Chain A
Amino acid sequence: MEANFPSTGRLPAAFLTPGSSSFMDFLGAHQPEMLPRNRQLPAQGVIEAPHGTTIVAATFPGGVVLAGDRRATMGNVIAQRDIEKVFPADEYSAVGIAGTAGLAVEMVKLFQLELEHFEKVEGVSLSLEGKANRLSTMIRSNLGMAMQGLAVVPLFAGYDVDRQKGRIFSYDVTGGRSEEHGYAATGSGSLFARGALKKLFREDLTEQQATTLVVQALYDAADDDSATGGPDLARRIYPIVTVINDEGFRKLTDAEASEIVRAVHERRLQEPDGPRAALL
């Protein structure tokens, strides 16, 4: 980057211009070619690239859990079996991404930086709504890519420090944002995951139960959607499960995730379709 500095080596004017606290605005002014939205689109045709699949989230009193399976697919090929699609956005929020994996990872990186940059410049964090809106802007700027089959559709979950509860926001490819109450799912397996969440979700789940719930939902998604990966017990690849509560973001360790997955798996050996909801 030094090469971009004028010969004196001093910080260029864009660095010392007061005003914006947004890293994306700064990048747009200083090095617009580095922003994903300023990239040239291919003229025609659909690009084959790895796609991430299912993300689920559920709230519980005192927080929210966000989890994702580990599979990336490219057409009918499994491109990667241990991809991570759930990331911390900052201390009190996380983002899970379905869609084109390469673009998604870049979007998350820029989103994390956007939140951190604001926090450092302003000295305070953005509100949870503010963060959700920032993500909306980023998805909207990817619309051109989405039209060519490279969509990125995240699920954003965070702990609202002001309201003291976990909240979930879902998005569509145009950046349309809606708050989800209770639970949400996105990605190719989301239909099946949502069915499971709907039948198993209750308002008064404990943190432990909520983590089991999302693992059940991912299990059901993998059961019926070929692009969603189920827990791989042989390779010890388990879903990424994260919890956000008043103490901040926490990713379950492999040992913790394995315990939940194994418990769910044990039960499914007896009842392959999972727990049954009451008929009436």
Chain B
Amino acid sequence: MSTPFYVSPQQAMADRAEYARKGIARGRSVVVLQYNDGVLFVAENPSRALHKVSEIYDRIAFAAVGKYNEFENLRIGGVRYADLRGYTYDRDDVTARGLANVYAQTLGTIFSSAGEKPYEVELIVAEVGAGPEDDQIYRLPHDGSIVDEHGSVAVGGNADQISNYLDQRHRDGMTLAEALKLARASLARDTNGTERALTAEQLEVAVLDRTRPQQRKFKRLLGRQLSRLLEEGSGAESVADVADEPGEDAGPQG
């Protein structure tokens, strides 16, 4: 019997983290932004059927990047968790914090168990509250940690650069059209700084809209509605300009 090759725990964890990070970095990014009426999710995703953004419960939605089968499993697990909890107690007792905790425990256990392959996923769980100050956004990296985010957050391949871009331009009380345009602009920037044109067909967009009369606040923005929102106030260089000059909506696409 050969002696097992010694690997220090630090090295083993670093290797696993490296493995997971590489898997996540291969995919396109997802951004999540707060706007005045709720939370906006935008993903670059040409598929109409395989979603990166989904509904979990009345006020809770889920966004993910990385390996599809892994985050799909987690998504269904989350729906089951939320539905079971709501059935056992009450619909109001299902919270993003509870769900984020369960996800963190799940990801963390898988990440640190030597027998299992670490999940190559990064998740966002968001809940829309009665007012903007009650909105909650949690980012869940592959290793089981939780980050409580405010304003805007990006996950996926180019996350650092996109986060930076969003941090500089996002502000409280943006309208849906403004937030959507900012999200598109952030996703359109490549690692080398060049910009691509992203059309409505390439984007998967959904909102948790607190003004929706229905109990379930999640809504996908599709087709004409999405195109119209993207057109609104286009031509202005940055979102801040649009807010200052609401009348301007002609001109070339930015």
Q: Enumerate chain A interface residues (CB-CB to B < 8 A).
A: 1, 5, 8-11, 14-16, 18, 23, 26-27, 30-31, 34, 109-110, 113, 116-117, 120-121, 123
Interfacial residues, chain B to chain A (CB-CB below 8 A) = 49, 51, 54-56, 72-74, 76-77, 79-81, 83-88, 101-103, 105-106, 108-110, 216
A11 touches B55 (CB 8 A): no
Interface SS of A by simple majority: helix
Q: Is the CB of A1 within 8 A of B84?
A: yes
| Additional pairs, 9, CB under 8 Å, beyond known A11-B81, A15-B76, A16-B76 | A10-B110, A15-B77, A16-B77, A18-B72, A18-B76, A23-B83, A30-B80, A34-B87, A123-B49
In the bound complex, residues from chain A placing their C-beta under 8 Å from that of B79 are: 117, 120-121
Cβ–Cβ contact A9 & B101, under 8 A: yes
Per a CB cutoff under 8 Å, which of B77, B87, B109 touches A109?
B87
Contact assessment for A27 and B84 in the assembled complex, using a CB-CB cutoff below 8 Å: yes
CB-CB < 8 A to A113: which residues of B?
83, 86-87
Query: Given the complex, which residues of B lie within 8 Å of A10, measured CB to CB?
Result: 102, 105-106, 108-110
Separation in Å of the A273 CB from the closest CB of chain B? 41
B109–A121 touching, CB < 8 Å: no
A5 / chain B contacts, CB cutoff of 8 Å: 102
Distance between Cα atoms of A14 and B83 in the complex (Å): 14
State the CA gap A14–B101 with chains docked (Å): 18
A-B contact pairs, 25 of them (CB 8 A): A1-B84, A1-B88, A5-B102, A8-B109, A10-B105, A10-B109, A11-B81, A16-B73, A16-B74, A16-B106, A18-B73, A18-B76, A23-B80, A26-B80, A26-B84, A30-B84, A31-B84, A34-B87, A34-B88, A113-B83, A117-B79, A120-B56, A120-B79, A121-B76, A123-B49
Measured CA separation A11–B103 after assembly (Å): 8
| Inter-chain contact A110/B76, CB cutoff 8 Å | no
Choose from A9, A15, A110, A116 the contact partner of B80 (Cβ within 8 Å): A15
Q: Are A11 and B106 closer than 8 Å at their CB atoms?
A: yes
Q: Specify which chain B residues have a CB less than 8 angstroms from the CB of A120 in the assembled complex.
A: 54-56, 79, 83
- Residues of B near A1 (CB, < 8 A) are 84-85, 88
